[in-house]
Amino acid sequence: MALTFEKTDIKDVYIITPKVFGDERGYFMETYSAKDFEAEGLHYNFVQDNQSSSTKGVLRGLHFQKTFPQAKLVRVLKGEVYDVAVDLRKDSATYGKYVGVLLSGENKKQLLIPKGFAHGFLVVSDTAEFAYKCDDFYHPEDEGGLPFDDSSINIKWPEIDVPYKLSDKDQKHLPLSESKIVFELKGEQ
C-alpha cells in the first residue's frame, strides 16, 4: 500500500501518511489511491479538488455545507497549518469534539474528514499552500460555520506571533450552542 491510515480519537477521521520515495533528485509519492482507500473499507468518490494560498495567521473556518455535507481529504503542499475537524454527526459519541493535527509540506500527512464535520485551519508558517479533495461540489448558498473560538468546542489553537486573520463571514458565525447544527447521515461515512 502507498498510504498508511492512522485512526484518531474520533471515529471515521484518519491521519493518512504516504510512502515517500526520495533520492538526491527529489521525491515521489502517491497522495491518493482509491485502491488503498477501498482496502481500508473507506468508500469515497471525490469530485472536486480545491487549493488555497494563505499567509501566517490566516484562520479559515470552521466551515461546512448545511444540506450538501462534504467529506474532505486535506493536505499541505508547502508550509504548515494546524488543521481541525469538529464532529457534528447526530448521535455521535464525540459530537462537538474535535481532532487537530499539524499538516505540513514536510511531514506530508493528510487528514480524512468524513461528512458531518465542520473544518478549519490556521496557517502557522509564513505562507502555506493548502489542497483538498471533496466528495460533493461546493454550493455557496449552502455555507455554514462555527466560530473558531467557540467555547463549547474549546479548540486549542497553536500560539503564533501574529494576530489571527479571519474573513468577515468567519467572524459572524453562531456558536454551536445557538446554531445547534446536527448532521443526520443515513448510511454514509
The pLDDT score that the predictor gives to residue 188 is: 57
Map 71-87 to HEC letters: CEEEEEEECEEEEEEEE
Which three three-digit cell numbers place residue 29?
509519492
How far apart CA 145 and CA 17 sit, in angstroms, is 28
Predicted TM-score (pTM) of this structure:
0.94
Element counts in the chain: helices (H) and strands (E): 2, 13
Q: What amino acid is encoded at 169 in this protein?
A: K
Catalytic hit among 14, 82, 98, 132: 132
Which three three-digit cell numbers place residue 161?
506571533
For residue 127, list its beta bridge partners: 55
**Residue 82 is a catalytic residue:** no
Catalytic hit among 63, 82, 98, 173: 63
pLDDT band of residue 79 (cuts 50, 70, 90) is very high
Task: Give phi and psi for 177, each to the nearest 5.
Answer: -65, -25
**Residue 98 is a catalytic residue:** no
* Residues 6+ positions from 155 with CB-CB distance below 8 Å: 84, 86, 98, 100, 148, 149
Mean pLDDT for 143-169 is 97
Domains of the chain, residue spans:
3-20+46-179
- Mean residue pLDDT of the chain comes to 95
How far apart CA 114 and CA 46 sit, in angstroms, is 12
Q: What is the pLDDT of residues 101-139, one digit of tens each?
A: 999 999 999 999 999 999 999 999 999 999 999 999 999
Cell numbers 498508511: residue: 4
Q: What is the pLDDT of residues 158-171, one digit of tens each?
A: 999 999 999 999 99
pLDDT band of residue 187 (cuts 50, 70, 90) is low
Which CATH topology does 3-20+46-179 take? Jelly Rolls (2.60.120)
